[in-house]
A = this chain, B = another copy of it.
Amino acid sequence: MPELTAAAAAHPNIALIKYWGNRDDALRLPANGSLSMNLGGLETRTRVTFDPALEADHLILNDAVAASGELARVSAFLDTVRQLAGIPHRAGVESWNNFPTGAGIASSAAAFAALSLAASAAAGLDLSEKDLSRLARRGSGSACRSVPGGYVEWLPGSSDLDSYAVSIAPPEHWALADCITVVSAGPKPLGSSQGHRLASSSPFQKARVAGAPRRLAQARRAILSRDFDALAQVIELDSNLMHAVMLTGQPALLYFLPGSIAVMQAVLAWRGEGLPVAYTLDAGPNVHVLCPAAEAESVRQRLARLPGVLRVLVALPGGQARWIHPPA
């Protein structure tokens, strides 16, 4: 019997056109298509070993035994892999992030992208990028966007079969930088999975979703033509639309912190002065400030001086999820 082990790495991603709300929560079929950039330099490495001797799955995150809720989510995901591969064995999963925990970088996208690749390979499956992306989506919606490389679009699809992400441009297409501006290292008030379920409680979600294809097309065009101004306009609008939906659901989700607003106001003022910068916030208080890579160091220094800013990490476009050998 072959050794049922494999390891993989994947980057987190920042959504430029947001995913918020599902048509199907169980399958994580999104209410609208979305678009993201992988965050190079930041990555999750994951090793999976299916072992007939194990009585239960176990999960080590950053060298510590994971909480039961995290294990349950991974175990449910492994069930999908086991079913696909037709194997019954429990698995041991070890995973490390090279970016600081509590840096406010959503880790589930990188985690489930790396896990999809490692677990499917360990189970003897040889999945296409499309099927890996579909699989990653089952673990965490935005994880499907961490499977392909560079600038990535999640095609919302209408079923499990056609909801997956594709690269629209490789990392080297456009040297943008994401200056990840950390204003809180604390846990989020609400996990994204629960947040997605609240989306439809806002009277604004329907209009947000209805306009998403148009904004997605604008953002895709801006990326393909490397038009920073056009990208800036549409990603800030799209981020504002998502946070407006969050703010008006029941219960309301107010992810902004004082430092978030300090950064957003500064970005607006700087762009007014001619600096090419734009903000976007995922489901949390930290602000991703996009700019051409050539401006990143200067923007990083400006951001670091703002009140409420704890640290700034700079990421350039990252590649696709990949196997790593030998297993970490």
A residues with CB within 8 A of B:
203-204, 206-208, 210-211, 236-237, 240-241, 243-245, 247-248, 250, 252, 254, 256-262, 264-265, 268, 307-308
Contact = CB atoms under 8 A, between A and B. Distances in A.
Determine chain A's interface SS by DSSP, over half rule.
Answer: helix
A264 B258 CA distance: 10
Nearest to A183: B258
B236 A252 contact: yes
Given A204-B207, A254-B264, A257-B261, 16 more contacts: A203-B204, A203-B207, A204-B204, A204-B208, A204-B241, A204-B244, A206-B207, A237-B252, A240-B247, A240-B248, A241-B248, A244-B247, A244-B248, A254-B265, A256-B256, A258-B308
Contacts of A241: 203-204, 248
A27 to B, nearest CB: 27
Nearest to A233: B250
The copy count of this chain in the complex is 2
A49 to B, nearest CB: 44
Contact of A252 (B240, B252, B258, B307): B240
A321 B246 CA distance: 39
A255 B252 CA distance: 18
B257 A248 contact: no
Interface pairs A-B: 8 shortest CB-CB: A244-B244, A258-B258, A203-B207, A204-B204, A240-B247, A258-B262, A258-B261, A244-B248
Nearest to A308: B258
Given A237-B252, A248-B241, A252-B240, A307 B258 contact: yes
Contacts of A211: 203
A268 B264 CA distance: 22
11 contacts: A204-B207, A204-B208, A204-B248, A240-B247, A244-B245, A254-B264, A256-B261, A258-B258, A258-B259, A258-B261, A258-B265
